[in-house]
Amino acid sequence: MRRALAVLAMLVAGMAAPAAEGACRLNGASISNPDDPTCRDAMFRYVESATTSNDEVTLGYPVPLPLDSLTPVDGFRTYESLKARHQELAVMLDTVEAVPVGQSGMGETIVAYRMGDSDRTTPLGDPEPAVLVNGTIHAREWQSPEVVTGLMEMLALRSADGGIGQYLSDNLNVVILPILNIDGFRQTQRYPERFSADPDQPRDGRMRRKNMRYDGGLVDTDLDNTADNFQGVDLNRNNEHGYGQNNSSSTDPVSLINRGPAIASEPEILALQAAAALAPAGQLRLYVDVHSFSQIYFAPLTGNSRRDELTVQLMQRMRAVTNFKYRDGRSTASGTGNDAIGTTADYFAYEYQVPSWTLELEPLNGGQDYGGTASHGHSGFILPDSEIARVRDEQAQTHLLGFYRQAGPPNVVAVEVRAASDGQVVYRAEWTGNGGRRSLQVSTNMALLPGAQYRLWIAFSKPMRWRDENGEMQPFAGQTVGADSGSARLEFPGQNVASLPLRIDRAAVWNMAPGGAPDGYHRYADDSLSVDFTLPANVAERSAQPVMLVLDNADLSGQKLDADPVTPVSWTNGHWSGFENELGEEGDIGGLDCSISFFAATDANANPPADSPSCKPAAPTSTGGGGGGALLWLLPMLAGFSFVSARPRRAT
Partner 1 sequence: MPRAQALQLARDGVSDEVIRELKTLATRGDSTALAARIEILLSDASLEPAARERALETGTFLLGALPPERKARQVLRQISQLEPQTWVWLEEGGHRVSVPLYDPAAAARVSERAWLAREAEARFSNKLGTTAPELVDDLARASLAERSGVISAIAHAPAAQLLHSKPSILAALDQGVAVGWYAAEVAARTYDSELALAAIEHAEPREALDMLDALGDRLAPGDILPLLLHSLRSPALASHSLFVLARLAPVSPAALSQIWQELENEENGGSAAAALARLSSPEAAMRAAAVTVDPDRDDALRRRALLALCLDNGDAAQRHLQLLTQSLGDSSLGQKASQCAGR
Interface with partner 1 in residues 262-321 (CB under 8 A)? 294, 296, 298
Please, what is the minimum distance in Å from the beta carbon of residue 30 to partner 1? 9
Of 106, 124, 333, 374, the residue at the interface with partner 1 (CB under 8 A) is 374
Cα–Cα distances in angstroms (integers) from residue 408 to residues 63, 588, 617, in the given order? 43, 11, 26
C-beta closer to partner 1: residue 53 or 581: 53
- Contact call for residue 87 and partner 1 (CB under 8 A): yes
Please, what is the minimum distance in Å from the beta carbon of residue 2 to partner 1? 7
Of 341, 415, 458, 483, the residue at the interface with partner 1 (CB under 8 A) is 341
Please, what is the minimum distance in Å from the beta carbon of residue 363 to partner 1? 9
- Contact call for residue 248 and partner 1 (CB under 8 A): yes
Subset of 158-217 contacting partner 1 (CB under 8 A)? 200-201, 209
Per residue, the 3-state secondary structure of 290-332, as one string, reads EEECCCEEEECCCCCHHHHHHHHHHHHHHHHHCCCCCEEEECC
Of 165, 372, 587, 609, the residue at the interface with partner 1 (CB under 8 A) is 372
Of 165, 184, 355, 367, the residue at the interface with partner 1 (CB under 8 A) is 367
- Contact call for residue 109 and partner 1 (CB under 8 A): yes
Of 376, 455, 506, 647, the residue at the interface with partner 1 (CB under 8 A) is 376
Please, what is the minimum distance in Å from the beta carbon of residue 249 to partner 1? 8
Subset of 218-247 contacting partner 1 (CB under 8 A)? 234, 236-237, 246
Count of Cβ atoms closer than 10 Å to residue 312 Cβ: 17
- Contact call for residue 100 and partner 1 (CB under 8 A): yes
Cα separation, 544 vs 600, in Å, equals 6
Q: Could you tell me which of 392, 395, 369, 393 has the C-alpha nearest to residue 382?
A: 369
Count of Cβ atoms closer than 10 Å to residue 499 Cβ: 16
Q: How many CA atoms lie within 13 A of 197 on its CB side?
A: 27
Number of residues that bind partner 1 (CB under 8 A): 86
Cα separation, 506 vs 485, in Å, equals 8
Q: Could you tell me which of 137, 97, 145, 79 has the C-alpha nearest to residue 269?
A: 137
Which helix or strand (DSSP H or E) is residue 133 part of?
A: strand 130-135
Of 40, 44, 58, 488, the residue at the interface with partner 1 (CB under 8 A) is 58
Subset of 560-599 contacting partner 1 (CB under 8 A)? none
In 3-state terms, what secondary structure has residue 596?
strand
Cα separation, 44 vs 570, in Å, equals 53
Of 229, 343, 344, 485, the residue at the interface with partner 1 (CB under 8 A) is 343
Which helix or strand (DSSP H or E) is residue 529 part of?
A: strand 528-534
C-beta closer to partner 1: residue 389 or 419: 389
In 3-state terms, what secondary structure has residue 286?
strand
**Contact (Cβ atoms closer than 8 angstroms) between residue 380 and residue 144:** no
C-beta closer to partner 1: residue 48 or 588: 48
C-beta closer to partner 1: residue 73 or 420: 73
- Contact call for residue 70 and partner 1 (CB under 8 A): yes
**Contact (Cβ atoms closer than 8 angstroms) between residue 113 and residue 87:** no
C-beta closer to partner 1: residue 59 or 596: 59
Strand partners, 297: 328, 359
In 3-state terms, what secondary structure has residue 93?
coil
Please, what is the minimum distance in Å from the beta carbon of residue 246 to partner 1? 8
Please, what is the minimum distance in Å from the beta carbon of residue 534 to partner 1? 52
- Contact call for residue 360 and partner 1 (CB under 8 A): yes
- Contact call for residue 107 and partner 1 (CB under 8 A): no
Subset of 382-411 contacting partner 1 (CB under 8 A)? 385-386
- Contact call for residue 8 and partner 1 (CB under 8 A): yes
